[in-house]
Amino acid sequence: MALLDDLQWRYATKKMNGQPVPTDKLNYILEAARLAPSSSGLQPYRLFVISNKELLDKIKLVSFNQSQITDCSHLLVWAAWDGYSYERIDDVFNYTIKERGLPDDAMNDYKQLLWGMYEPLGEDWHKSHSARQAYISFGLAIAAAAEQKVDATPMEGFEPAQMDALLGLDKLGLKSVVILPLGYRADDGDWLVNLKKVRTPKEQFITEIA
């Protein structure tokens, strides 16, 4: 029940107080994000952890001036691959083979199979699929933050092209997907903090097929 209690506690914090998140709590959240599952274990995304105040000021300007950007302790930015390629898939699987001590050709058939599936699906599918994988990591980071009693505000409200430019993501073959300010709720100025958490009733949300 502990996780459910933590999820009941959390909400999309609207005003943060600037208090820093301790390093051990931050690292816990980041490790949860890193350990997230992804399709074929490719992890087609990277996570940027930003605490530089000058950069956060710039990011706020391309994030509709949301105050959490500059009042947070750290801003997490998930950036997904801008597309799949055989070379990218090959690099990931070669690392897996090395870490597991397998023969060099152990995953050759699967690499060919996977790329044979992905290549014809096109650029738009590639971008959408890699972004969806990033959201799995994003969700686990939110849950981990709740466990650590660290406030977090899921955000899609930013200008992706400008975010990409600020972080130099195009040079890395990445596209910004979603961001998560981490910090602590302010005592005053947050209109949402005392309102009841509302979700779709269980009877409507869940359909059981026996």
pLDDT digits (tens, 9 = 90+) for 4-28: 999 999 999 999 999 999 999 999 9
Identify the CATH homologous superfamily for domain 2-82+123-205. NADH Oxidase (3.40.109.10)
CB 114 within 8 A of CB 40: yes
Task: Read off the pLDDT band of 47 (50, 70, 90).
Answer: very high
Place of tokens 């090959």: 90
- Rounded to two decimals, what is the model's pTM? 0.96
Mean pLDDT of 187-199: 93
Instruction: Note whether 156 and 16 are within 8 A (CB).
Output: no
Give the pLDDT of residue 67.
97
Q: Is the pLDDT of residue 1 over 80?
A: no
